[in-house]
């Protein structure tokens, strides 16, 4: 009998088109879920009979309560090789194999630059006005050439953003908990302390992973150091920033604005106050959402399932 396999959170309904799932048709019976579960209880009820679950990033969390309520689950796959919403210790205790997939390119870097340009040049805003029948321009843009970009986290993604920003004529400084002046010099950017970065930067962009050390890393005091003309961009993870403190700063216009792709609660509730602010650009966690990346994700999931069925799991995380 084929093993039941769930593909979760396929919001664009593309999972089955972007990988060779047909090669597994005799071995697995696939069910695609194209909407987020409304609650943990709904997720458990829907998934209780599945042996294989393919998750898209952290859209559906698999903490201890969920994993212990899924007696049939044997293989849990995440897109990418890291998932902060998976309880790996519980997975090990229950004998659940956890695997990941590859990724491709740096799509979040492009989104970061896009948010930066929308905040400073109001491209989408003016586009919407023209399509609504407005006659001509009303906004006064800001040139980012010569401005200072402060990068929190100079890893692979942060370095990519720095390279693009320098090509646009920006001055770039960086900080993170483990970053050294030598590493900054090697990347061709300036080193700053955390306090210096938030005080000097015209735009602050966050590129650290979510962990126990980085949860709440950007707090009220950091936001208070920012200039009233500066912007914050977060394409990393929502909980890295104290969202209440950020909301307060935006409502008081203590900073000029923010570009946010990630949030403490996702999907962002329809009535959330961030949706009502005119100095915020919001996107629904699009950083990794590209066709190229999805082909890598879903193709990797097919490979993971084949390897697990053969008794030789690949890209194993737990």
CB-side exposure of 313: number of CA atoms within 13 Å? 15
Phi, psi of 9 (to 5 degrees): 55, 45
93 is catalytic: no
Cβ–Cβ < 8 Å for 304, 314: yes
207 is catalytic: no
Q: Report the distance separating Cα 69 and Cα 157, nearest Å.
A: 36
Q: Report the distance separating Cα 259 and Cα 230, nearest Å.
A: 11
118 is catalytic: no
Question: What residues have CB less than 8 Å from 227, skipping those under 6 apart?
Answer: 199, 202, 255
Q: Report the distance separating Cα 95 and Cα 99, nearest Å.
A: 13
Among 3, 207, 285, 303, which one carries the catalytic annotation? 285
Interior/surface letters 263-277, b for 16+ CB within 10 angstroms, e for the rest: beeeebeeebebeeb
What tokens appear for 318 in the block?
């737990």
Strand partners, 64: none
Question: What residues have CB less than 8 Å from 144, skipping those under 6 apart?
Answer: 116, 117, 120, 165, 168, 169, 170, 202, 203
What tokens appear for 115 in the block?
């948010």
Three-state secondary-structure class, residue 63:
coil
Measuring CA to CA, which residue among 67, 107, 124, 40 is closest to residue 318?
A: 67
Strand partners, 30: 5
Among 4, 142, 266, 272, which one carries the catalytic annotation? 266
CA 212, chain centre distance (Å): 17
Among 58, 207, 237, 243, which one carries the catalytic annotation? 237
Q: Give catalytic residue positions.
A: 237, 266, 285
């Amino acid at each position: 009998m084929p093993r039941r396999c769930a593909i979760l959170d396929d919001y664009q309904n593309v999972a089955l088109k972007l990988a060779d799932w047909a090669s597994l048709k005799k071995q697995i019976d696939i069910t695609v879920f194209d909407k987020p579960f409304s609650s943990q209880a709904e997720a458990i009820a829907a998934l209780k009979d599945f042996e294989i679950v393919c998750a898209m990033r952290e859209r559906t969390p698999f903490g201890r309560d969920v994993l212990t309520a899924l007696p049939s689950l044997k293989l849990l796959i995440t897109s990418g090789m890291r998932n902060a919403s998976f309880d790996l210790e519980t997975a090990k205790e229950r004998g659940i194999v956890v695997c990941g997939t590859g990724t491709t390119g740096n799509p979040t870097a492009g989104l970061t630059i896009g948010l930066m340009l929308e905040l400073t040049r109001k491209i989408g805003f003016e586009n919407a006005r023209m399509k609504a029948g407005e006659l001509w321009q009303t906004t006064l843009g800001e040139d980012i050439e010569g401005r200072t970009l402060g990068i929190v986290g100079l890893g692979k993604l942060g370095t990519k953003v720095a390279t693009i920003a320098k090509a646009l004529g920006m001055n770039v400084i960086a900080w993170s908990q483990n970053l050294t002046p030598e590493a900054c010099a090697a990347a061709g950017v300036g080193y700053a302390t955390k306090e210096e970065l938030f005080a000097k930067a015209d735009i602050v962009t966050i590129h650290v992973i979510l962990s126990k050390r980085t949860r709440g890393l950007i707090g009220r005091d950091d936001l208070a150091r920012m200039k009233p003309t500066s912007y914050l961009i977060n394409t990393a993870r929502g909980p890295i920033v104290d969202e209440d403190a950020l909301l307060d700063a935006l409502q008081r216009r203590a900073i000029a604005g923010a570009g946010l792709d990630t949030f403490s609660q996702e999907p962002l509730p329809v009535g959330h106050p961030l949706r009502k602010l005119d100095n915020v650009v919001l996107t629904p966690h699009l950083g990794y959402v590209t066709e190229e990346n999805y082909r890598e994700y879903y193709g990797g999931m097919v490979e993971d399932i084949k390897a697990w069925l053969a008794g030789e799991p690949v890209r194993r995380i737990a």
